A and B are shown apart, each in its own frame.
Chain A
Amino acid sequence: MAQRGPDVGVITEKTPIAKIKPVRFLLNWGRRYSLWVFNFGLACCSIEFIAASTAKNDFIRLGVIPFAHGPRQADLLVVAGTLTDKMAPVIKRLYDQMPDPKYVISFGSCSNCGGPYWDSYSVTKGVDQIIPVDVFVPGCPPRPEALLHGIIRLQEKIRDEDIQEKFRSGTTAVS
């Protein structure tokens, strides 16, 4: 089960000002257009992720700032590639180090559910067994534009989000 990460910022589940609609709109707007991404590129999908950060399909124009220096400075974790059993505790640890509120995109078949290696002895069949995932991007590997589409869908999800609900539930409940 994922734990609560360190809280950063003034808004928590007890802050009443976050309930006011214009404030909520403003906070969601700020949060969804300034995602700092921690690239967890494990395998071939990471190449497509890097391609999405290059000039032709630029995800910085969607507000996703490339390559946080570490999990402690990141909002968004993009898991791109095959998660092996040996790597699983590592990704759990890095996810726990990310401050709330945080979002996860599972990029590619291997991180969705094992993908082509679904029958292997050393592969975790899906990163959502370890950490909660917000958006699943299908493909093997997905096009860089598919990642941009996944980011847009995540931004739509954040737009309709109630931040107090997110904090209250503790970013938990692995599906």
Chain B
Amino acid sequence: MGRPLSAEEVGSRLRARFGDDIELADTFGQVAATVTVDRYHDLVRFLRDEPELACDFCDFTGGVDLGPDGGFEVVTQLTSTEHHHDVRVKVRLPSTEPACPTISDLFPTCDWHERETMEMFGIRFEGHPHPVKLLLAEPFEGFPLRKDFPLMSREVKPWPGVPEGEEVEDDE
């Protein structure tokens, strides 16, 4: 019954509404819209409420660490169960004190997804109703999925792959 929109049609609707606040890219036939932090909530609400887009199912919300120069990125995948098209929303965040508005008031699924992103990357989601750790044990310090988080077992145990006395080659 629904009509799936192609990537260009979705892109043109988003461009018409949001103008220069978003950048569009086409990834494997689906739109990836990179939006600024202040318009993130509006974009997700528009994708959900607009009848021709009707993205009513949030697949996941995750984070990406792009290194010290790239900052962080929050990625959300939305799907329309009526029209059978998907949209990927990305938000670029700075690498120091990353903060982003929550979309758990629009999609209750994102409550847990954002809790996991919070504990793994250290991204603060403003307005989140229950920002506590989801998966990690309580006294855990640090943010494990950041690129600069060391795996302590690999630091402590000497690599058995080199004969004693030889230098370990550094890949960096």
Interface set of A (CB-CB < 8 Å, partner B): 84-86, 88, 114, 118-122, 125
Interface set of B (CB-CB < 8 Å, partner A): 135-137, 140, 142, 144, 149, 151-154
16 contacts between A and B (CB under 8 A): A85-B140, A86-B135, A86-B137, A88-B137, A114-B153, A119-B153, A119-B154, A120-B151, A120-B153, A121-B142, A121-B151, A122-B135, A122-B136, A122-B137, A122-B144, A125-B153
Using CB atoms, name the residue of chain A closest to B154: A119
For B152, list chain A residues within 8 Å (CB).
121
CB contacts between A and B, total, < 8 Å: 27
Max chain B C-beta neighbours (<10 A), residue from A88, A114, A119: A119
- Interface residues of chain B: helix, strand, loop or mixed (majority): loop
Distance of A88 from chain B, by nearest CB (Å)? 8
For A122, list chain B residues within 8 Å (CB).
135-137, 140, 144
- Say yes or no: A121 contacts B154, CB within 8 Å: no
A85-B136, A119-B151, A122-B137 known; 19 other A-B pairs, CB under 8 Å? A85-B137, A85-B140, A86-B135, A86-B136, A86-B137, A88-B137, A114-B153, A118-B153, A119-B153, A119-B154, A120-B151, A120-B153, A121-B142, A121-B144, A121-B149, A121-B151, A122-B135, A122-B136, A122-B144
Counting from the closest, the 8 A-B pairs by CB-CB distance are A85-B137, A119-B153, A86-B137, A121-B144, A119-B151, A119-B154, A118-B153, A122-B136
Distance of B158 from chain A, by nearest CB (Å)? 13
